[in-house]
Amino acid sequence: MNGADVLCSTLLASGIDTCFANPGTSEMHFVAALDQRPEMRCVLGLFEGVVTGAADGYARMTDRPAATLLHTGPGLANGLANLHNARRAETAMVNIVGDHASTHLQYDAPLTTDIEGLARPMSHWVGRIGGAASLQRDTEAAIAAARSGAGQVATLILPADAAWSDARFDETAGPILPAAATSAPAEEIEAAARAIHRAGPRCLLLLGGRALRAAPLAEAARIARATGAGVLSETSNARCEHGRGRHAPARVPYLVDVAVERLAGYDTVILIGARAPVAFFGFPDRPHVPTRPDAEILPLAGRGADLAATLAQLREALGIPATAPLPARDDSPVACPEGALDTTTLPAAVAHALPENAILCDESISMGFPFALLAARCAPHDHLQLTGGAIGIGPALAAGAAIACPDRPVLSLQADGSAFYTVQGLWTQAREGLNVVTVILSNRKYQSLYGELHRLGRNAPGTNARAMLDLDNPAVDWPALARGFGVGGSRVERAEDLAAAITRAFRAGGPHLIEAVL
- CATH code at position 223: 3.40.50.1220
- Same domain flag for 367 and 496: yes
pLDDT the model gives residue 67: 98
Query: Would residue 332 count as lying in a domain?
Result: no
* Vertex 380 angle, CA 375 and 384, to 5°: 65
What's the distance, Cα to Cα, between the start and end of the chain in Å?
57
- Same domain flag for 350 and 495: yes
**CATH code, domain carrying 402:** 3.40.50.970
Query: Would residue 104 count as lying in a domain?
Result: yes
- Same domain flag for 293 and 351: no
pLDDT the model gives residue 337: 97
Which residue segment(s) compose the domain that 228 sits in? 186-317
- Same domain flag for 292 and 361: no
Based on the structure, what is the number of domains in the chain?
Answer: 3
Query: Would residue 7 count as lying in a domain?
Result: yes
- Same domain flag for 160 and 191: no
At residue 115, what are phi and psi to the nearest 5 degrees?
-65, -40
Using CB atoms within 10 Å of the CB of residue 246, give its burial: 0 to 12 exposed, 13 to 18 middle, 19+ buried: buried
pLDDT the model gives residue 444: 92
- Same domain flag for 279 and 149: no
- Same domain flag for 298 and 382: no
Q: For the chain, what is the total number of helices (H) and then of strands (E)?
A: 21, 17
Query: Would residue 509 count as lying in a domain?
Result: yes
- Same domain flag for 141 and 200: no
pLDDT the model gives residue 507: 97
Query: Would residue 326 count as lying in a domain?
Result: no
Query: Would residue 338 count as lying in a domain?
Result: no
CB distance 252 to 290 below 8 Å = yes
pLDDT the model gives residue 365: 86
For 80, 199, 245, the CA distances from 332, given in Å and listed in that order, are: 42, 33, 10
Give the chain's residues under pLDDT 50: none
- Same domain flag for 206 and 152: no
Residue 189 CB: number of other CB atoms within 10 A? 23
CB distance 366 to 397 below 8 Å = no
Using CB atoms within 10 Å of the CB of residue 214, give its burial: 0 to 12 exposed, 13 to 18 middle, 19+ buried: middle
Query: Would residue 419 count as lying in a domain?
Result: yes
Query: Would residue 355 count as lying in a domain?
Result: yes
pLDDT the model gives residue 459: 83
Instruction: Give CA 458 to chain center in angstroms.
Output: 33
pLDDT the model gives residue 452: 87
